Amino acid sequence: MDFREFDELAAHRTAARAWIDANVRREWAEEQHRSGTHQTPELHACLARDGILGAGWPTELGGSDVDPGFARAIFEELVRAEVLCEGWITTVMVINTINHLGTEEQKRAYIPPALRGEILIALGYSEPDSGSDAAAAKTAATRDGDGWLINGQKMFTSTAQLCSHVFVLARTNPEVPKHKGLTMFLVPTSADGYELQPIHTLGGQRTNATFYSDVRVPDSAQLGGVDEGWSVMHVALVYERAAPGTGAIEQTPTDAIAAWARETRRPDGRTVLDDPLVAERIGRMAVDAEVARVLSLRIRWLAEKGEMPGVEGSMWKMFATEAAQRHYSDILDILGAEGVLTPDAEGAPVAGRFEHGLRTSVVGTIYGGTSEIIREIIAERRLGLPKSRSSK
């Protein structure tokens, strides 16, 4: 691989920035930060209207003729503008999984409406008693005539308050090892017996607890085969790193703290960056940021070759999120007392980005699988080490 910097989207940058200027309002980023909801319906409608959601998809499934490079450039510019599309990221994961494993009927039922902006899908994996150990799910799905009844509870169902469906991992066979008795269902949030309650995280994001009390779904809502949910979920996780806006830009604080240290002077007149210990710390952050960038490039390279990245996504996720924790901890050491000023505090360095970033980095090692679970995945699937826990 050639790791030199090359902007393959350079031809689309000007047009993408013009689209952002014409369609994105500055207050959307502020509202996402204030509410903790990282999905803006008005923006999503614009993306659907202009065919950006459908870029790269076949026309028979509702795809548009928009250049996928232009669409990717727009999502990168949205990240730079701090306007996030997390509900669309999870939706792309699921509709790619449907396209890979679903029936023709399911593809027609879910993919075209999603590309038109009519469907958003949240992820229903984690539970209160099992967290990142998704295979320990207790939410149960039992046969009921030509359909299923779902009963249980899910945690951290982010953007569910705006979604039309939740992709629910449910136990359909309690008599077999836990990984083998699970099935995936697409549950409408309009169904009787479905409820949600908001949860606000340390990082300021709103997520949800979702509840299922005799929620009835038809057999057509089941994806990938009964008791095959573990394999289905693995396909979805592979697509997680390829979703637009995911890994597009390595969001690190290195450039921001370097600029602050270069411009800020100590009482003796020297800049903060003149301190060799500060310079070393920032240098280490830059090295970490480059490692994370190269790991994400490997994922993209595999996807462009037509392969399905597996453990590579776990490697990137663990390194990038743990590095972010180290970086923000170092930054608060560098800033001293000013480092704990919140974004709404007068005089907060870089508008309080560093204090908020530290809180966000803590939950970053939990979302999408805790670092402990990710380490087990890497150990077992890449290093060939034995399982550390029983599958019973």
Alpha helices in the chain (DSSP H): 10-23, 26-35, 41-49, 68-80, 86-101, 104-115, 229-240, 254-263, 276-304, 311-335, 353-364, 371-381
The tens digit of pLDDT for each residue in 23-38 reads 999 899 989 988 999 9
Contact 280, 333 (CB under 8 A): no
Which residue's structure tokens are 């921001």? 256
- Which pLDDT score is estimated for 2? 53
pTM score above 0.95 = no
Give the span between the Cα atoms of 358 and 365, in whole angstroms.
Answer: 12
**Closest listed residue to residue 85, CA positions, set 134, 131, 20:** 20
- Which pLDDT score is estimated for 56? 92
Contact 204, 159 (CB under 8 A): no
Number of residues that this document lists for the chain: 392
Domains recognised in the chain with CATH numbers: 10-119 (1.10.540.10), 122-236 (2.40.110.10), 250-381 (1.20.140.10)
Contact 229, 150 (CB under 8 A): no
Give the span between the Cα atoms of 237 and 169, in whole angstroms.
Answer: 13
The tens digit of pLDDT for each residue in 127-157 reads 998 766 788 899 999 999 999 999 999 999 9
